Amino acid sequence: MHIKVVVLVEFITGVDRGQRGKVLAVDHEAGKVIVEGANRVYKHVRRSQKNPQGGRLSKEMPIQISKVMVVCPQTNKPTRIGYRYLDDGSKERFAKRSGASLGSVSPARPKYAKKS
């Protein structure tokens, strides 16, 4: 999966379309993400020692990963993500819209270094 925690994403479908937020959690097996402040629902909670007030709690719910896109830091628009090897053999994530680097994925490996 191309989306990681603490990345800024934008919703491309649904009720929250156009809204942006940080990724709080990623569930790789289910293919879902939880985004800060989006896809909120009310959970009705009974009074207890843990929650003495009770009532309705608002919380974020998971959403399909295909419904969000990473926001490019350079253009500030939604973009797809790709992977590429640099000249020294290290692997990095990059924004396909602008080509901007989004951080390293693995350290340099001589097997993938460009021979000059």
CATH label of the domain that carries residue 64: 2.30.30.30
Confidence at residue 51, expressed as pLDDT on a 0 to 100 scale: 87
**Claim to verify: residue 44 and residue 84 sit in the same structural domain:** no
Domain closes at, from 71, 88, 103: 71
Structure pTM?
0.81
pLDDT tens-digit profile of 49-86? 988 988 998 999 999 999 999 999 999 999 999 999 99
- Name the phi and psi angles at 60, rounded to 5: -80, 140
**Claim to verify: residue 82 and residue 62 sit in the same structural domain:** no
Residues 57, 44: Cα–Cα separation, whole Å: 6
**Claim to verify: residue 12 and residue 62 sit in the same structural domain:** yes
What percent of the chain stands above pLDDT 70?
98
* R_g of the chain computed on alpha carbons: 19
Residues 62, 40: Cα–Cα separation, whole Å: 9
* 8 Å CB contact between 80 and 96: yes
Confidence at residue 1, expressed as pLDDT on a 0 to 100 scale: 67
The count of structural domains within the chain is 2
**Claim to verify: residue 61 and residue 47 sit in the same structural domain:** yes
Confidence at residue 2, expressed as pLDDT on a 0 to 100 scale: 83
pLDDT tens-digit profile of 12-46? 998 889 999 999 999 999 999 999 999 999 999 99
Residue 114: domain span: 74-116
Q: Is the pLDDT of residue 91 over 80?
A: yes
**Claim to verify: residue 24 and residue 44 sit in the same structural domain:** yes
